[in-house]
Amino acid sequence: MAVLLPVLLAATCAFLGVGLWVICSHFFTADIPAAIGHPVKLRILHCLFLLLVTWGMIFEKMRICSMPQFVRFMHDLWPLKEDPDVVVTDLYYGTIPVKLYQPKVPSCVPRPGIVFYHGGGGVIGTLKTHHVICCHLSKKSGSVVLSVGYRSPPQHKFPVGMRDCISATIHFLKSLNVYGVDPDRVVVCGDSVGGGMAIVVCQKLLGCPDLPKIRAQILIYANFQALDFQSPSYQQNRNIPLLSRNFAFYCWHLYLDINPSWKSTVMKGAHLPAEIWEKYRKWLGAENIPERFKKRSYQAMTPEPVNEAAYLETNIVLDLMNSPLLAEDEVMSRLPEACIVSCEYDLLRDNSLLLKKRLEDLGVPVTWHHMDDGFHGVLSTLDMGYLQFPCSVRILNAILHFLNEL
């Protein structure tokens, strides 16, 4: 007992100390816009997120586990909510874990199909973190939903996760009759990095005439390029939860296996040569973003001269599996129609605006929903009780309306 008491006191002090540090860090660094409408909720949500990340970093320093492993472990401890109207089946496509969601109500005709790729920066998301979203999609649209549990860092770096998504999608498309899915109504869907994965899957499968064609793509505050950290939304929303620019860079370097020491170079745009910036300016330049999105504290910046050593390590960002927005017009013009959801207070907002313009310019039908009070990750607050944001329900309803109109 005499030995146990000091240990308990030390653990209590450590827990309280970390909690106090998290709260102070939040109030000193986080920017909470009044337009979000529920600032207290967002502060609580952000502090909980920071607490997970901070403890993860501590365990990583102690060499117990990596931060992403700890965050995923803690997420997955939470029991999944069962929906009496949806049958959920855990499967493996080879070594790739997937969850299959099917409405319990029988159907005399083939159902729509949705392949879902979860967000989380390619680092901290899991099948369980997006379970509620997939349940809602299946139940309320009458669709068979396949959620792909692609492998993540630190054990698996790019392109493992992306290849998992492509492989699982191909397997699903070849098995539609087994699941009672209409081959003419298969949609890909993803949030954050998952939205980027969805469009990459569409691009990759364009050259597969033996597979059913993807009917549409639903892209929720997604990331479509890994080059530019100085767009208007990256400047305006750099400290807004739940995706700060610092955390986005952390995910970027871990997912792509790039040394974090290049952070300052990348932020200044000195990781790529001037000719690369000039080549892709026609698609990535701020002039492609409507003026109303540049009114909040935006300053146009010219990339600094290239650091050749940084370019050698970071040019992987030019791979189309990382930056599908860089695909040529011949590819982009053949993509299926898109439903794009963007949020005003999201670091990645401009990616959606740039993709919307490109697709529309090429004649691809686009349905766009912009959430003026939205922030990155808000859809994941569905069914969080007090911490649910009204914006999450509006996003879900917009997606369901799009699906029902197909």
Where on the phi/psi map is residue 377: left (φ > 0), alpha (ψ -120 to 50), or beta? left
The rounded distance, in Å, linking the Cα atoms of 322 and 256 is: 9
Side chain identity, residue 203: Q
DSSP, res 377 = T
Cβ pair 255, 123 in contact under 8 A: yes
- According to DSSP, the β-strands at 111-117 and 86-93 are unpaired
Beta bridge partners of 90: 99
- Sheet with strand 181-191: strands edge to edge: 86-93, 96-103, 144-148, 111-117, 181-191, 216-220, 337-345, 366-375
DSSP, res 176 = H
DSSP, res 345 = E
Measured CA to CA in angstroms, residue 309 lies from 109, 249, 257, 271 at distances of 58, 18, 15, 8
The rounded distance, in Å, linking the Cα atoms of 271 and 170 is: 35
> Following CA atoms 292, 293, 294, 296 in sequence, which dihedral angle do they give, to the nearest 10 degrees?
100
Q: Return the SS3 of 240.
A: coil
Q: Return the SS3 of 155.
A: coil
What does the block give as tokens for 282?
A: 């026609």
User: Does an H or E element contain 291, and which?
Assistant: none
The rounded distance, in Å, linking the Cα atoms of 248 and 256 is: 12
Cβ pair 395, 369 in contact under 8 A: yes
Catalytic center residues: 192, 346, 376
Place of tokens 């729509």: 112
The rounded distance, in Å, linking the Cα atoms of 346 and 44 is: 18
Q: Return the SS3 of 6.
A: helix
